[in-house]
Structures are given as C-alpha cells and as structure tokens.
Amino acid sequence: MTLQKQSLPRLCLGVWLLALSLGASASEEDRSALAQRNGCLACHAGMETKIGPSFREISGKYSGQEGGVELLAGRIVSGTGEHGSGWAKDGKATLASMPPNGNVSPENARKLAAWIIAAKGKVSGPQHFVSEKVRISGRVEQVFELSVAELRKFPPQQIGEIPVTCQSGANLGKIENLKGVLLRDILEEAKIVSRSHNDVKKIAIVASASDDYRVVFSWSEIFNSPLGDGIVVFYERNGLPLADDEGRIALISAKDTRTGPRHVKWLNGIEVRQIVD
C-alpha cells in the first residue's frame, strides 16, 4: 500500500451547515448550524417524518399561533413532557414525546424556533459534506490520507445489522450490510507513538467529520476491549458506495449500547492525541 505523507491538519471547529433551498443568508445558515450542533437533525428533517415531526409540520403548527416562536423555543429546551404534543398520535412522529435539551440556551432556542418556522422545511441536502478521504494524523509515526480505494486494501470487515439508538435512548432504526475496515487496523498502520509503557493509557483518538461532528475513543477501547472489534470505518452499505447523506466514508462503533452518538457521517479525520502528561 502506498501512503502519501501529509502535514498535520488544523482541527475543524465548525458544525453542519445546511443550505436553505430558498437561498439562505449567513444568519440563517448559523441557525441550521445550531440545529446540527444541538442534535435537532438526529430526530427531525426538513420535509420528511423521522422519529420526530418534520420541520415543515412544526412550522405549520406554530406559525399560526400567537407567540409561536416563544412557545416552540420553550419546548426545544424543556421538551414536550411525557405525554408529548400529539405528533405520534397523528402519525407524524414515532417518538411519543420530545426529551428536554438543557444544552440549548434560551437565546439559541429562540433562534432555532424562528428559523424552523420561517424555513417551512425547505432545506437542501448534504452534498457539500461528502468526504472522499480520511486523514490520519497526530501522535503517529506516519501521517497519511486514505481514499476508499486505499481503505479496500486493508482486511475487510462485514457488519450485518446494527440497531441505531440515539443519546436519549430513542430508537432511530437500523443500518445493515456494511463493509469497511477496523479502526484498529488503520491505527496499527499509522503506528501510534508511545515512548513509555504508560503512554497508551493517556491516548485519545478523535474521529471528526466534514460537518465538524467529533467523537472520542480511548486507546483501551480500541486495542484492549471487545468494543474495538466493532469500531469500523466503512465505505459500503448493501454492496453500494455510501450515499451523500453519509459521505463516502463513515464510522460506527457497533458494540456501543447506544450506537447513534458514535456514528460519524462524512468522516474526514482521525487524530491521535495524548490528553494528559
């Protein structure tokens, strides 16, 4: 395998920016960034029903109400309560209620609510986040990039079916028939730098995406735990290349209890860090 050495990349600090199909301004893009950063897009989409109602349905409900922005903002932060708001009963959601999201400030919740109501579900697809290569960098002897073709040269891993559960515990369905490579095999090729016996215990591996979503693994999870056998960088689903909504390269930790949080779409970076001295 021929691996081209690259300089260390800068860490990306942004979030997924969905462009509005009606020609979004910078401020509107910032609202969609907030939606991605705060987990809204795990449960909601523009026009289609996921486990939560579509943004179009939400817009239709709240745009005609006096004080609709404030009401929706309150529910973004506090949730809808255990009995929900009737979306599931009406067949417009599969999750009975929306859990609280205390990570969203009241100010940002108002921004999100105004954006959802104004956009009316008209959001475009994620084509500009498609990842063609993943860069391996940080505390490694070899810094390089891998395309799908180069990933295929590693020992292949097949995964039949993975239930996807989000951080709240909600069922997001399943993904099936994945083909890829173990993250462990990629890191062994890169050769993690370890100057003493205990260095590896201080190592974290950060997987990042082109929308700047990031997840973290410890060295022990990957190399000294059964979890490592299920941490896969994948490039095929059902025998086909990954679609634009997942990248061309993605990652999942298939043996996590809740698999959603460490399912990384549009994977473009794996960085090895020593997190303590």
Tens of pLDDT, residues 12-63: 322 223 322 333 444 455 566 667 667 787 788 777 888 888 888 899 889 8
CA distance 70 to 117: 11
Q: Which residues make Cβ contacts (< 8 Å) with residue 240, sequence separation at least 6?
A: none
pTM score over 0.75? no
180 closest CA partner among 115, 241, 124, 126: 241
Domain 127-274 matching CATH 3.90.420.10: the answer reads yes
Domain ranges of the chain: 26-119, 127-274
Exposed e or buried b for every residue in 227-248, given b needs 16+ CB within 10 A?
A: bbebbbbbbbbeeeebeeebbb
For 26-119, CATH gives 1.10.760.10
Given a cut of 60, whether residue 262 has pLDDT beyond it is: yes
Topology match between the domains 26-119 and 127-274: no
109 closest CA partner among 64, 78, 66: 78
pLDDT 10s digits, 187-228? 999 999 988 888 888 999 999 998 778 999 999 999 999 999
CA distance 80 to 127: 33
CA distance 106 to 118: 18
Q: 190: burial class by Cβ within 10 Å (0-12, 13-18, 19+)? A: buried
Given a cut of 90, whether residue 98 has pLDDT beyond it is: no
Q: Average pLDDT, stretch 167-183?
A: 86
